[in-house]
Structure 1
């Protein structure tokens, strides 16, 4: 027995030792010396206490090559996953459940567009040289190191990263900004199946004379809804982040305590492990930038130095039109276009599937764009739905744009760089130490024929689906050094000085109003401290607006025991703090109100699509104020319900759900107990692996469309936070070397690394961390140094 016990102990020790060796072999190397091919000189990489690399090179190509190398050792699996998502290659490693996602992304045309774009790239431009050096650094790391743990689990074979991958990822970002896939089918369904009177609550200017209603059959409507749901599900199933919204503002020196401009930004992106941004401080003689990089992007999407800085928000302009094509009844490969029948272009691609035979996908294209319901394969309806997308239809030199923006120290340079961003539409909010602030809504805005409302699916047989050109950039919404002394951008609909209409799927103005109320207070001198409070504001005026016409009805419908809850709502200021009970009641009531009013007309499938759109946020306050809206009647009953009856039903249903889910003691209905954040890893959707890779759960303050936009999808409690600030940055240009920031999880995407989740608790607590920029600060906070030397 003793001998057997010794043997068992030895086996356990060997297994533990092997496991430790295996895990250690996957960890990033942040000290010592590494030889790297194609370097012209040695490069120093100093890592600070958060694992942020501070790269000192002697020339530009060495700097970007080193960035690629260190980015890869922290985020190689993220790079692999995002390129596979964008290029429709996830089923090859995740199996048949991702076939639909791959079908969708290939049908969007991102893959073929990226291939053509990369083939035409001039290898001698500065931006493309930077990209090639960066990709070389990634590939050198990949070729000389063990694959990440996730590669081993999924059986991923290493492949070189190429410019096609980088352009594809840019296409994915553009796609994730596009709300048209979810919104246009829903609004068109409401208009054509329910009637135009049902559109009133959505505050849409409907021009039926300008849009010919497509002739869609029942299975065509099912197609459109499946596409809407698939566009959301594709990213969810992959475990990757979806770009959602953002806040940013810039304050002139005459409104700040320091006398210099102040820049704030917090882009809102889906939470995931690792988080979307990779921080890196880059320098070579004549250039220095502290930037936030996306996977496979050499240049920073957010950045600053001692002279200037910028942040971005989603423009949310409508740069996609869905178009129902008219088929030739005598030739199913022809559609009616500009007065004649024209042939659809067609090609086939194969989707590799793990554990199954490859799937052949036939992709068609009309003169308007790719036929996106080909993503549904043999289950697609008869009507081809084409997609016109600015990303596919413009030159879009976005790589050059951000290369130049990384170096834009004047208004003129920042404006010129922004003009090169054609799609996705982005708001560039910029400031410099010289005292300038600026904002440019960067996008190629299409000119549509008069009367066309792109909120709806257009008829491809009519000229209304055509484009007449693009708006000149000078007519885009923009401001430079406004007299009021500040600029704020929060995804609401902009009003350009040019007077042009800019259709889009904008967020509620609630965040923008809240931020503007703070920034407009002339008694406040803005600094880093009070700017933190504004970024972390968890309040909103939306709740009071929605509740105002409903509270008298709720009070009359509530029992004596429920009057205290009605009083809580009546006295609530809209703040979503962890200990609050009112936000829990309100958010349950919002969902229940939408369901009781709209669920019967829409049906379960279309209703679930509707509540994942932004237009429902606009509709509910208008619906609450409109006593005679047709939505109040429940079509499933023989009587006609009014607002009073339906609101009372929603109130009682809300309380019933809260009691059954959270218990009868309302003290347990605190917001922080039912509103939580878990950072999910792509493999964390599997049991056991979730404990290894996911980070959280955390009680989360904030809420939907509050400045601290820790937002959940509309639905019944409990609520899982889906997206929020992907970083919070604050830069006072009186002292830009002491800027503040935060990563929602950590710098590293390597499981068991010390920087995998070391910022997660700090983030949810609303705290900030210094972004080291000066030589003295970097030296004082250097934890380790990695030296890259040329191969001899």
Structure 2
């Protein structure tokens, strides 16, 4: 017995030692790719020595003799910190993810190949001006210098992920940076999905009911929606089965419509500023990831220093400031996509119907290599309207007539895209007027840029806007037949006709993705805008003070009052509050009364420490589900996100929308009060199952956890503990401090889409400006800079945003010197 015990003990000790040894070995190899932020590197491609000064937050401050040398060093720094992220973004644009990740990313590759994102980027290299092309080449050379250093210096393959997905690395090219810009544009449009959803609804519901669920933003210039079946004869019979979504797979740049882009930006003129100069705040909203998509940097150019947020892979400061000019970006929500059903010649599959007869598709084959499976060959096709989309994606089988294929026209597919060049011009502008001129060459995505110099402010829509015929059958809101000339784009509007607002009389301007123009179709920008709620709170906060300061702008950025909650609770609870006698303890009725009592005293603040936000969010989610499930069946899953305008239309019975409250499958006629009561009970049951029965002890932050997931290793057991970042957060779907929730799945109220960058710029004292990102600068999970800024971001804190070279050097934690190689 003793012998057996000794052997078991020895085996156990041996296993522990082997496990510790394996962990130590993994740590050793992973740590080899941790960059050293001090040292001298001899590199080819620079004209003179360059310094990369890292501060305590790992923000690089780059000083060089020429602009090209500075862009070179930015490429070097990006590659040091975000090597894997850059390579993955490039593979996404190229449609080559499946070479590493196998069949699970095949649908993403197919879509990107069919759109030919990388081909459009490659073609766009030829139209860059001399400065932009030189900057792109210098940036690429800097990235390649780090790749050379990784290969020659045994630096752990450059990133720990490379040990799991090792592959040959092609040199960085200018087209790679342009392609990443196009991937960003694709992330910020949901018009592909919106058109298909609206068409699917139109096949089964009257147009007024479609308008209830997918409402056009209220205001002048709205259009009645035609029936899709009338636009596209022989469309498939109604099918409300829930579609699977290969386009939302791992690493896909396509977002569900409910998780589209959003952002805030606002500025105060001298007359509304307590500081004696202008103020500007910006917080772009994107999906949360680890690391963040954003990377902070300062570039000391010949025209002066610029500082702000970059995207690794691109040489631009996308949002930030110089000493003289600041700029903030928000998604404009322009309808920049039209889908077409193209009739294929039944006698010749290489032809489609055009306005004057059969025309030839432009075609070529492409091969997608798939790890662990046979290569896949697909035939790429283009009509005059654009590329043929993958037949199975976006729910297209539900709306495509037999004998047709679906094509897309999108401004982001331009092969003469000078958006990056426009951004480089903006970085060297010194006034609002110069900034607006610089933006004239911006193409996609259509972006609302808020500008401020020391004396002036402006809001400028940048980007190419499609011109539609006044007789377009769906006005761009539904797919149409591609051969009808009136449905095709009639070119684009000149930049001078893009909306712009300079120095308004009220001294304040800004954008929360709200509707900014009432121009009627076809001069309009869109029928659907990204926000109808946050803008109401923003207006109140801006008018609450006669003058503003940097601190009041920070307070507005961090505001967590939900105007949607304030608007909707009086509607859905009007006939429930304080009605009936007190119910016995422990009954569902008593819990309902307790929940209503809590909400009655609540001011709409989505604070992580309060119970009311969780009760409210669960109630609204259950209510929308009850309203639409009996009409839509499984298709209701396509609308996981609460739409305040829909709830308001129903409870105010706008256009007869109260009909949604009656459950069609039941004999009684339910009122909206009945459904509201049942939805509250549903919500309380759900809360009890997940968070307990004691309503007073609930915390919104327990449900509203910010999920910064690593896009590749975030779902790998054990590794996910090291690479994913979790934080309890305040805010919600419709707060200025936005924390958008998915509305479905295991964690329906998780914070998955938020302000991953915040910046506030004060031109009375520019070096008192501040900024922060949602994780840290490094993409390496073993680096202390992987998540060090995340705690500041969660608490609503910032770091200094100074262009002072002396301060940067005085606070340096590391200095890299790039020396020209002999």
What is the TM-score when the length of structure 2 is the normalising length?
Answer: 0.89
Kindly indicate whether the alpha-carbon contact (under 8 Å) linking 1:363 and 1:374 is maintained by their aligned counterparts in 2: no
Q: Is the 8 A contact 1:235 1:242 kept in 2?
A: no
**Counterpart for residue 692 of structure 2:** 663
Query: In 2, distance between residues paired with 1:11 and 1:574?
Result: 55
How many Å apart are 1:611 and its aligned residue? 3.0
Matched with 1:610 is 639
Q: Is the 8 A contact 2:215 2:528 kept in 1?
A: no
Name the residue aligned to 1:515.
538
- In structure 2, how many angstroms separate the alpha carbons of the residues matched to 1:209 and 1:95? 41
Q: CA deviation digits over 1:346-368, x for unaligned, max 9?
A: 22211111111111122222211
Which residue of structure 1 lines up, in the alignment, with residue 408 of structure 2? 387
Deviations 1:753-775 (A, max 9, x none): 12111111111111111123213
CA positional deviation for 1:7: 9.7
Match of 2:31 in 1: 24
Shift of 1:782: 1.1
Is the CA contact (8 Å cut-off) linking 1:677 and 1:699 kept in structure 2?
Answer: yes
1:623-678 CA-partner distances (Å, limit 9, x unpaired): 22218423223344455544233323222211221112211111232211111112
Q: What's 1:132 paired with?
A: 137
Within the alignment, does 1:724 sit opposite 2:754 as a pair? yes
Distance 2:812 2:414 in 1: 47
Is 2:429 the partner of 1:412? no
Question: Residue 447 of structure 2: which of 408, 414, 426 is its match?
Answer: 426
* Distance (whole Å) between structure 2 residues aligned to residue 378 and residue 360 of structure 1: 22
Aligned partners of 1:211 and 1:459 also within 8 Å = no
Counterpart of 1:502 (choices 513, 525, 529) is 525
1:67 counterpart SS class: helix
Structure 1 contact 432–733 (Cα < 8 Å) conserved: yes
State which drifts further: 58-67 or 16-25.
16-25
Check 1:330–1:216 CA distance in 2 against 1; reply closer, same or farther (3 A cut): same
Question: What does 1:126-525 correspond to in 2, within 5 Å?
Answer: 126-145=131-150, 146=155, 147=157, 148-201=159-212, 202-204=214-216, 205-208=223-226, 212-215=230-233, 217-218=235-236, 226=243, 229-233=245-249, 235=251, 244-374=261-391, 382=402, 383-393=404-414, 395-433=416-454, 435-452=455-472, 453-495=475-517, 500-521=523-544, 523-525=545-547
- Preserved CA contact (<8 Å) 1:210 1:450: no
- Pair 497,250 (structure 1): closer, same or farther in 2 beyond 3 Å: farther
Q: 1:314·1:426 contact (CA, 8 Å) conserved in 2?
A: yes
Query: Aligned to 1:586, which of 601, 616, 620?
Result: 616
Q: Which of 82, 99, 105 in structure 1 is aligned with 2:106?
A: 99
Deviation per CA, 1:59-111, whole angstroms, max 9, x where unpaired? 11111111111110100100011111222111111111111111122222313
C-alpha change, 1:600 and 1:16, in structure 2 (3 Å) is closer
Equivalent in the alignment of 2:84: 77
- For the structure 1 residues 637 and 402, does the alpha-carbon distance in structure 2 shift closer, same or farther, using more than 3 Å as the test? same
CA deviation vs aligned residue, 1:581-632 (integer Å, no higher than 9, x gap): 221111112211111111222232x3222335x9x34322212221842322
Checking the alignment, whether the CA contact within 8 Å between 2:290 and 2:710 is kept in structure 1 is yes
Cα displacement string for residues 726-767 of structure 1 (whole angstroms, at most 9, x for unaligned residues): 111111001112211112110111121121111111111111
Structure 2 counterpart of 1:540, from 562, 571, 579: 562
What CA distance in whole angstroms lies between the structure 2 residues aligned with 1:221 and 1:143? 55
Residues 527-606 of structure 1 aligned to structure 2 (within 5 Å)? 527-555=549-577, 559-604=589-634, 606=635
Equivalent in the alignment of 2:115 = 108
Q: Distance in 2 between matches of 1:157 and 1:539?
A: 50
RMSD: 3.0
Q: In structure 1, how many angstroms separate the alpha carbons of the residues matched to 2:541 and 2:195?
A: 35
- 2:703 counterpart residue number: 674
Aligned mates of 2:381, 2:674 — CA distance in 1 = 50
Residues 16-42 of structure 1: CA deviation (Å, up to 9, x unaligned): 765554233211121011111112111
Contiguous gaps of at least 5 residues in structure 2: 1-5, 217-222, 581-587
| Count of equivalent residues | 782
Q: Which runs of 5+ in 1 are unaligned?
A: none
Q: Distance in 1 between matches of 2:90 and 2:237?
A: 33
The alpha-carbon deviation at position 235 of structure 1 amounts to 4.2
Change in 2 beyond 3 A, CA 1:129/1:486: same
Distance in 1, matches of 2:559 and 2:383, equals 47
Match of 1:647 among 673, 676, 679: 676
Residue 707 (structure 1) aligns with: 736
Give the equivalent residue in structure 1 for 2:219: none
Q: How does 1:771-782 map to 2 (within 5 A)?
A: 771-782=801-812
